[in-house]
Structure 1
Amino acid sequence: MSTFLNLLAYGLADGAILALAALGFVLIYKATGVINFAQGEFLLIGAYLMYTAWVVLGLPMVVSVLVGIVAATVVGVLVERLILRPMVGEDPISIIMVTIGLAMLLKAVVQMFYGTTPRSQPAVLPTGSVSVLGATLPVNRLLVILIAAVVLTAFTLFFSRSKHGIAMRAVADDQQAAMTMGISVRRIFALSWALAAVSAFIAGVLLADLSAVDQNIAAFGLMVFPVVILGGLDSVPGTIIGGLTIGLLTQFVSGYLDPGLATVIPYVVLVLILLVKPYGLFGETRIERV
Structure 2
Amino acid sequence: MSFFLETLAGGLLAGVMYALVAIGFVLIYKASGVFNFAQGAMVLCAALTFVTLTERDVPFWLAGLITLAIMVTLAVAVERIVLRPLVNRSQITLFMATLGLSYIIEGGSQFVMGASVHELDLGISDLPVAIGPIQLSSFDLVAAASAGALVIALWLFFERTRVGVSLRAVADDPQAALSIGIRLPLLWATVWAVAGFVALVAGLLWGARQGVQFSLTFVVLKALPVLIIGGFTSITGAVVGGLIVGAADALAEIYLGPLLGGSVSTWFAYGLAVAFLLVRPAGLFGERAIERV
Partner AA of 1:195 in structure 2: V
**TM superposition outliers: structure 1 runs of 4+ over 3 Å:** none
| SS at structure 2 position matched to 1:136 | strand
| Helix, strand or coil at the partner of 1:165 | helix
Q: Identify if the C-alpha distance between structure 1 residues 124 and 256 changes in structure 2 by more than 3 Å, giving closer, same or farther.
A: farther
Deviations 1:104-161 (A, max 9, x none): 1112112323443211132342222212224332111001111111101111111122
Counterpart of 1:274 in structure 2 is: 277
Gaps of 5+ in 1: none
Q: Which residue of 2 aligns with 1:51?
A: 51
Q: Match for residue 34 of structure 1?
A: 34
Aligned ranges 1:83-232 → 2 under 5 Å: 83-232=82-231
Alignment correspondent of 1:15: 15
1:262 aligns with 2:265: yes
Partner residue in 2 for 1:252: 251
| Equivalent residues of 1:27, 1:196 under 8 A apart | yes
Q: Offset of 1:281 from its aligned partner?
A: 1.0
Give, in angstroms, the shift of residue 208 of structure 1. 0.9
**1:192-241 Cα distance to aligned partner (Å, 9 max, x none):** 11111211211111011111111111112211111111001111110000
Q: Secondary structure at the match of 1:261?
A: coil
Structure 2 residues not aligned, in runs of 5+: none
User: Percent identity between the aligned chains?
Assistant: 37
Instruction: Tell me the distance in 2 between the aligned counterparts of 1:39 and 1:152.
Output: 17
The Cα of 1:272 is off from its aligned counterpart by: 1.4
Q: Measured at CA, do residues 55 and 166 of structure 1 come closer, stay the same or move farther in structure 2, by a change above 3 Å?
A: farther
Match of 1:137, SS state, is strand
Q: Secondary structure at the match of 2:117?
A: coil
SS at match of 1:254: helix
Distance 2:19 2:69 in 1: 21
- The alignment's C-alpha RMSD in Å is 1.6
Query: In structure 1, how many angstroms separate the alpha carbons of the residues matched to 2:5 and 2:60?
Result: 31
Higher mean C-alpha displacement, 150-159 vs 249-258: 249-258
Contact 1:55 1:121 in 2 (8 A): no
Pairwise CA distance, 1:19: 0.7
Shift of 1:81: 0.6
